[in-house]
Structure 1
Amino acid sequence: MLRFVSPPMPHITLGGEDTYPVGGTHPNRSQIGVFDLLVVTRGGLFLEENGIAHDVPAGHYVILRPDMPHRTRMPCREETHFYWIHFHTVGSWSETEERQPLSAIDDGKPYSPIESFSFYLPAHGSWMSSPGVPELIRRLLPLQDEQSAVSRWKQQQLFHELLLQLQQEAEPPSDSPHYAVAEKAAAFLRDHYREEVGYRRLSEALHFHANYISICMKRTFGCTPLDYLTRHRVEQAKRLLIHTDGKIGGIAEETGFGSFPYFVRCFTRYAGMTPKAFRKQYRQTEPGAERMQTLPEI
């Protein structure tokens, strides 16, 4: 599974389609510098990436890494049609076997105006449950021959829609018990973060054992309910420290932290500095600047 931290979003650089006859082979390449997405609609490709075999029959796809050699493991056994898309990202990415904690997303800034997020793509899989994939590719390919900025913009939008279709293949199905429980738990924690929330209350609200809820959240979000709640509280505290004139002790209370020392410890762990230092760094204004208005409740 490939993990991309965005923004910036991955972007298409070039695409096309090809048909191999029986015995046809895909070019052997090494460290081409772009991801190579191959979407097979008929026949099948038999590839190898850095010693790992990838059989890609009709209705399936594979994403070959930009930093690994790949070659044909076996010639096509039947006429094979496929689309290919080269794409790249200037953001960070990695290969992982499981989802990583939300706290792993860190751009080195205690408060960033751009909220980063991770999305995951299976390195290979079926697109049969997303039958619109070939149509999206057929729509975006002609746009690369047009040189206008609008055409390139439209192409990138279609490519992002294509990634979304493939990304949904990586998501737990919406009817998955683990996914459903994790989403309900996350929504409850966001709605009640100002209040005292423990595992017992969470268990009573969702009618599941606390251990099971924790397992579901780890599988879906990569963190425990307590980690999720603390992170959310810290993010709300950051907003209040920057956009309001409230006292730090009052902000600690308003965001659900039971004590001021505990608030300082949690905030420092996640933000890399104390609340006081954080406010001082991000509330510096020019002489005569108007005072910031209190942020309305959301």
Structure 2
Amino acid sequence: MYINFTCPPLPHLIVGGISLFRRGDLHERRVLDHTFDLIFVFSGALYMEEDGRKYTIEPGQYLILPPGRLHKGYKACTSDTTFSWVHFYTTGDYFYSENSITHSDPKMNKTKYYKKDVFYISLPQSGKIDDSLHEMLKNYMDSISQVKIDKYHNEKLFYSSTKSQIEYQQLFLKILTIFCDLQEHEKEKELTDEIFDYLSLHYQDAFNLNQLAAQYSFHPAHIIRSVKKKYGLSPLQLLLSIRIQKAMKLLTEERHSVGEIASLVGFADSAYFCKQFKKITSLTPLQYRNQQRSLHSTD
């Protein structure tokens, strides 16, 4: 499930804290009328129930508990558990959905100088944060923590502000950005997988970046950036790689000439095909065919 905030206004930080639970400790039962509770576990495991739905939050995982819903620990911690939490709220509207809300800004024009269009912050209610982001997230959460709940010493400690409210809100928005990027990365992964499948199916067709971008309703620059991030190649380079893989298989079968294979895998020019083949495999098509023939003859 996704929690979607209509902005402006932006959600705002109330307070952050850290809790140290012992084995056998149980999260309290409560309903927060006006507060979201974001929990991120660093060690151990926290067993939470929200309106009858049970979650096991393990290291690197998080859960957002919305206001107005009963939540509680449904099971005591089975080991020592450390987790950070953030209480936040919004004075604006929010709603729930099964899928994230996709927002794309229309092109800027002179009528938009003085008023911000509505946009959405779409947060997955639960998930896992990439290991590479744990240290950054911990630093942000430590920086906004003003409460420490220590079950070892049966203490609840409160700390004075060490930053301005603007700094606290900036840190909170950085935390939200990490969670927002989580679903952006998932969407980006889905996009690149779909593009790979599309190119694998249409490898014989002429390449057209604008047509590919229109197919998936993204700007060409976003298509290039996403594919390069996943595969280390531009969309055209990825297509060439797919074509060469198809050509390698055909060369092994020995049913077609090099010129015929070039045409079959989408190259209009056999000389260009040979150039790209050698660039990717370090062999000419004939050298590759002879190599494969030699390997199979020794089997």
TM-score with structure 2 setting the length:
0.55
1:117 is matched with which residue: 116, 119, 130?
Answer: 119
Name the structure 1 match of 2:96. Answer: 95
State the Cα RMSD in Å: 3.2
State the SS of the aligned residue for 2:172.
helix
Name the structure 1 match of 2:53. Answer: 52
Which residue identity is paired with 1:9?
L
Report the Cα distance in structure 2 between the residues aligned to 1:147 and 1:177, rounded to whole angstroms: 42
Name the structure 2 match of 1:159. Answer: 172
Name the structure 2 match of 1:24. Answer: 25
Report the Cα distance in structure 2 between the residues aligned to 1:44 and 1:10, rounded to whole angstroms: 27
Report the Cα distance in structure 1 between the residues aligned to 2:37 and 2:190, rounded to whole angstroms: 34
Report the Cα distance in structure 2 between the residues aligned to 1:51 and 1:59, rounded to whole angstroms: 23
Name the structure 2 match of 1:137. Answer: 141
Relative distance call for 1:179 and 1:146 in structure 2 (3 A) is farther
Which residue identity is paired with 1:117?
F
Report the Cα distance in structure 2 between the residues aligned to 1:175 and 1:102, rounded to whole angstroms: 14
Larger Rg: 2
Name the structure 1 match of 2:204. Answer: none
Which residue identity is paired with 1:171?
E
Report the Cα distance in structure 1 between the residues aligned to 2:184 and 2:213, rounded to whole angstroms: 24
Which residue identity is paired with 1:130?
L
Relative distance call for 1:141 and 1:89 in structure 2 (3 A) is same
1:213 is matched with which residue: 209, 212, 216?
Answer: 216
Using the TM superposition, give the Cα deviation of residue 158 of structure 1 relative to its aligned residue in structure 2, in angstroms.
0.4
Relative distance call for 1:83 and 1:177 in structure 2 (3 A) is closer
Name the structure 2 match of 1:247. Answer: none
Does the Cα contact within 8 Å between 2:4 and 2:122 map onto a contact in 1? yes
Report the Cα distance in structure 2 between the residues aligned to 1:97 and 1:51, rounded to whole angstroms: 18
State the SS of the aligned residue for 2:212.
coil
Using the TM superposition, give the Cα deviation of residue 99 of structure 1 relative to its aligned residue in structure 2, in angstroms.
3.1
Which residue identity is paired with 1:178?
L
Name the structure 2 match of 1:275. Answer: none
Does the Cα contact within 8 Å between 1:21 and 1:78 map onto a contact in 2? yes
Report the Cα distance in structure 2 between the residues aligned to 1:3 and 1:91, rounded to whole angstroms: 11
**1:67-95 CA distances to partner (integer Å, 9 max, x unpaired)?**
11011111101011111111101111111
* Residue correspondence of structure 1 range 1-298 to structure 2 within 5 A: 1-100=2-101, 102=103, 113-127=115-129, 128-131=131-134, 132-142=136-146, 145-146=159-160, 151-173=164-186, 176=189, 178=191, 204-208=208-212, 212-213=215-216
Report sequence identity in percent. Answer: 26
Which residue identity is paired with 2:49?
E
Report the Cα distance in structure 2 between the residues aligned to 1:147 and 1:135, rounded to whole angstroms: 16
Relative distance call for 1:177 and 1:76 in structure 2 (3 A) is closer
Report the Cα distance in structure 1 between the residues aligned to 2:213 and 2:90, rounded to whole angstroms: 41
